[in-house]
Amino acid sequence: MLQVLQDWFKLSEHGTSLGKEVLAGATTWVTMVYIVAVNPLMLENAQMDFGAVFVATCLAAAFGSMFMGAVANLPVALGPGMGLNAFFTYSIVIGMNLPWQTALGAVFWSGVLFLILSLTGVRERIVYAMPASIKTGIAVGIGLFLAVIGLENAGVIVQGEGALLAMGNLKTWSASLFAVGFILTVALFARVSSLAVIAGILVVAVLGWFLDPSFGFPASVVALPPSLGPTFLELEFLLPFEVGFMSVILALLFVDLFDTSGTLVAVVNQGGLETEEGKIPRLGRAMLADSSATVVGSLLGTSTTTSYIESTTGISVGGRTGLTAMVVGLLFLATLFVAPFVGAIPPYATAPALVFVAVLLIGSLSEFELWNDFSESAPLVITAIMMPLSFSIADGIAAGILTYVLIKILAGKHGDLNGMLIGLGLIFLGKFVLL
């Protein structure tokens, strides 16, 4: 078996070993396992069954990670994406007043389109067609969006009277314990601890069980997984092909596209895995794994499944091959049997993770080098601020791309545009002006 693993994943060629890959997989899993608590709580707001979403989250993460490891041989783990689940709940289900079954149908069709683009190689060309300013703006905007949601879940900010937002009551257990969890998470991360995110969640949860009378200890820790029945194959396959709804599918598609691309670039760079031409190895296979995981996840009953930036933690301890991702997948299968414990975690215990992930995403601003070119920086800012203020990732992307196209045309910088951007600009102009 060891020889099979050596040959399949080419451990020796990548300067790694079975032990290093197992440690890397465990490290990545620890840093992203918070999703099995956050995702069901997020989708529960869309009237989905918590237990079924918990199972779907574990299975989608396991499938995606193992597919990525076996086919693309990259140390990249997958799971239902943060930000994408917020878009699913707050923009599609609540904002558009649609049933969650219809929203799952949108996820399915975005995954199918993603799969087609991956198989035809179009997806790789799309990655190189989008400007860096829009890609950065999307990452920052999702970060700001997550921060608002996390702070709201903790009661730190509330809907204001005569204002959009206002400071909440900071003397409540939810706000106080959120502060403890966030400071602990950041402090541990600054000390290069792979336990930073999960430690913040667990510490706040345990303190909440002791101190907050509205929550109690879980009745048990280990149990058989809940039923997947309430969400399995409950999506609506046939959707109205309206311009407004197609924009939702395209938004899911492009957010996943850029999120995956950014993650792959970060992992490859950190691990020194680039090809001689400086490109991502087996990019087509990696995107095939990502899109397939989205399709499977929608059938199981969860929002878009995507590659996780937390995979870089596994890289930091020596992970270099797909065996790392395989270990992550196996650990998510084991996670299925701790549902009672996950279900007892208070909503405000996951708020520090949301805001911390926001910090990581907003940190992508440090890599943007075109601040002095206002035809690039202005669309970035519009993309970023429109997401939390409109409470819609789709509207943020649309506003950013439309702003980019119009500014470039009026500034006489037509050479920075391409056919795809112009086409999207026309679509979004129709969305805002004609509809």
Q: For residue range 343-362, what is the model confidence (pLDDT) as tens digits?
A: 677 878 878 887 887 887 78
pLDDT tens for 273-325 read 776 666 677 878 888 898 999 999 999 999 999 988 778 778 877 788 888 99
Amino acid at 215: F
pLDDT above 90 as % of the chain: 26
Instruction: Please give the Cα distance from 204 to 206 (Å, whole number).
Output: 6
Q: Which secondary structure element, helix H or strand E, spans residue 175, and what is its range?
A: helix 173-190
Amino acid at 80: P
Can you tell me which residue has the tokens 């509330």?
158
Per the CB < 8 A criterion, the answer to whether 68 and 77 are in contact is yes
pLDDT of residue 143: 81
Encode burial over 332-346: b for 16+ CB neighbours within 10 A, e otherwise. Answer: bbebbebbbbbbbbb
Model confidence at 394, pLDDT cuts 50, 70, 90, reads low
Greater confidence (165 vs 35) lies with: 35
Worst-scoring range by mean pLDDT, 3-12, 81-90, 298-307?
Answer: 3-12
Residue 331's nearest CA partner among 303, 361, 310, 300 is 310
Model confidence at 391, pLDDT cuts 50, 70, 90, reads confident
| DSSP assignments along 85-129, one per residue | HHIIIIIIIIITT--HHHHHHHHHHHHHHHHHHHHHTHHHHHHHH
3-state DSSP call for residue 79? strand
- Other Cβ atoms less than 10 A from the Cβ of 147: the count is 21
With 0.85 as the threshold, say if the pTM is over it. no
Amino acid at 160: G
pLDDT tens for 152-174 read 888 898 887 777 788 888 888 88
pLDDT of residue 70: 92
- Other Cβ atoms less than 10 A from the Cβ of 170: the count is 13
240: its two tokens? 């109205």
Radius of gyration of the chain (CA): 21
Per the CB < 8 A criterion, the answer to whether 301 and 228 are in contact is yes
DSSP-derived letter for residue 69 is: I
Residue 333's nearest CA partner among 36, 13, 9 is 36
Per the CB < 8 A criterion, the answer to whether 154 and 277 are in contact is no
Per the CB < 8 A criterion, the answer to whether 377 and 371 are in contact is yes
pLDDT above 70 as % of the chain: 92
Greater confidence (66 vs 345) lies with: 66
Amino acid at 299: L
32: its two tokens? 């992203």
